Amino acid sequence: MTITPPALSVFESLESEVRSYCRGWPAVFDRAQGSRIHDEDGHSYLDFFSGAGALNYGHNNPVLKRALLDYLERDGITHGLDMSTTAKRAFLTTFQEVVLRPRDLDYKVMFPGPTGTNAVEAALKLARKAKGREAIVSFTNAFHGMSLGSLAVTGNAFKRAGAGIPLVHGTPMPFDHYLDGRVPDFLWFERLLEDQGSGLNQPAAVIVETIQGEGGINVARAEWLRGLAELCKRRDMLLIVDDIQMGCGRTGPFFSFEEAGIVPDIVTLSKSISGYGLPMSLTLFKPELDLWEPGEHNGTFRGNNPAFVTATAALDTYWADGQMEKQTLARGEQIEAALRDIVREHPRSGVEFRGRGLVWGLEFTDKQRAAAVCARAFELGMLLETSGPESEVVKLLPALTISPDELDEGLRTLARAVRETA
């Protein structure tokens, strides 16, 4: 029988049973810096989860920290109302100059509320308004959020059941690699669209992740994404790329869809956009889609000024040139090599890997094993999480700023954890 350490009993007695990440990591965390996080008992952990991708620049990144402290110290505006502020203007200008213009992207910026699901809700509203239709197509194993609009286009049955109402207006289509590998891409989707008797309500939009993070690190090929973009255009559907987890450089380029050379109609960003773990989200869309009436979508924390400050510092520091992208791809090769070794080391073990940039997954045929690997890694001083519909995938999300040595350390710990759970 396990004796609950006193440190955790507060959470158990006061907090709801809904809490989740804390269960896999039985420690009370206190401080963190870069890729290291420390609990109150003095243990230190190498963080390969990065706040579910919210900390691409590491914990308490010193450049962002300095900017934030300066802002707070000089009594900058801290609330989130959508007033015009100097912090918001600086962010808008920097985002335009550092991110949009160099990529030739002409997007209007909407602050839809500071969480990912706010951004998705706004994207879906706008798509429905623009097209005058209710239906949205999403993909198998998609994850877009927990509020009812986003949940209706999310795949996970357990989370969907939490809605307490039947989730409607969404239809799933097969994500890349979902079927047997022999069915032509979009065969089914296109047939449904072209056939006036198919029974599919004509969709307003398609929402897609280029790599499904929660869904199990499922990587769409660039040509699949191009095929999807082309289908959307041909069949008058808006293309929404949910880049909440994969954007902000996670896969290499700032936007994960850049590699495919597509230009979505609507893009959602969150998680690492503030760069400091502070809640912030963006919904971007082509200017001709800016059909909102003033205040048609609102909320108290849409203009999270402290987050604008760190976001601006992050863009200025990391995205003014192409260094970050190159570094991420290099680090990605380091991971890929290590994962290949792990797979090679366990030839009969039913283990596969996939990923891009600094997001990778290690999938186990023995589905329980993934959780065991993460648990063992924790004991060895490392934070790792699972993903996938049955938590069968170990998910690697180190900070983009991780050093080669830290990365190497983590990958060795992972290899050991895999070995020791065999």
User: Interface with a copy of itself includes 182 (CB under 8 A)?
Assistant: yes
User: Interface with a copy of itself includes 368 (CB under 8 A)?
Assistant: no
Q: Cβ closer to a copy of itself: 152 or 372?
A: 152
Q: Cβ closer to a copy of itself: 300 or 323?
A: 300
Q: Cβ closer to a copy of itself: 151 or 342?
A: 151
Distances (CA, A) of 158 to 118, 141, 174: 21, 12, 19
In the bound complex, what is the minimum distance in angstroms from residue 266's beta carbon to a copy of itself? 11
> Site residues for a copy of itself, window 280-319 (CB under 8 A)?
283, 285, 290-301, 304-306
> Site residues for a copy of itself, window 383-402 (CB under 8 A)?
388-390
> Site residues for a copy of itself, window 4-63 (CB under 8 A)?
7-8, 10-11, 14-23, 25-33, 37, 40, 49, 51-55, 59-60
Which of the stretches 174-182, 231-239, 314-322, 340-348 binds a copy of itself when contact is defined by CB under 8 A? 174-182
- Mention every residue, 6+ apart, whose C-beta is less than 8 A from residue 32: 38, 47, 59, 60
User: Interface with a copy of itself includes 114 (CB under 8 A)?
Assistant: yes
Q: What is the torsional sign of CA 66, 68, 69, 74?
A: positive
- Mention every residue, 6+ apart, whose C-beta is less than 8 A from residue 402: 34, 35, 58, 331, 358, 410
User: Interface with a copy of itself includes 370 (CB under 8 A)?
Assistant: no
Strand partners, 395: 361, 385
**Number of chain positions touching a copy of itself (CB under 8 A):** 156
User: Interface with a copy of itself includes 375 (CB under 8 A)?
Assistant: no
In the bound complex, what is the minimum distance in angstroms from residue 10's beta carbon to a copy of itself? 5
Among 4, 44, 201, 365, binds a copy of itself (CB under 8 A): 201
Residue 112, sorted as left (phi over 0), alpha (psi -120 to 50) or beta, turns out to be alpha
Distances (CA, A) of 393 to 96, 98, 352: 36, 35, 9
User: Interface with a copy of itself includes 247 (CB under 8 A)?
Assistant: no
For the record, the structure tokens of 258 come out as 């850049």
Distance, in Å, from the CA atom of 273 to the CA atom of 238, rounded to the nearest integer, reads 23
Which of the stretches 200-208, 221-229, 327-335, 343-351 binds a copy of itself when contact is defined by CB under 8 A? 200-208
- Mention every residue, 6+ apart, whose C-beta is less than 8 A from residue 201: 133, 134, 135, 169, 171
Q: Cβ closer to a copy of itself: 114 or 227?
A: 114
Location of structure tokens 């230009």: 263
User: Interface with a copy of itself includes 3 (CB under 8 A)?
Assistant: no
Residue 153 and residue 230 in contact, taking contact as beta carbons nearer than 8 Å: no
Q: What is the DSSP string of 39-68?
A: ETTS-EEEESSHHHHT-TT-BT-HHHHHHH
> Site residues for a copy of itself, window 72-101 (CB under 8 A)?
72-86, 88-89, 92-93, 95-96
Distance, in Å, from the CA atom of 233 to the CA atom of 235, rounded to the nearest integer, reads 6
> Site residues for a copy of itself, window 141-170 (CB under 8 A)?
141-142, 145-150, 152-170
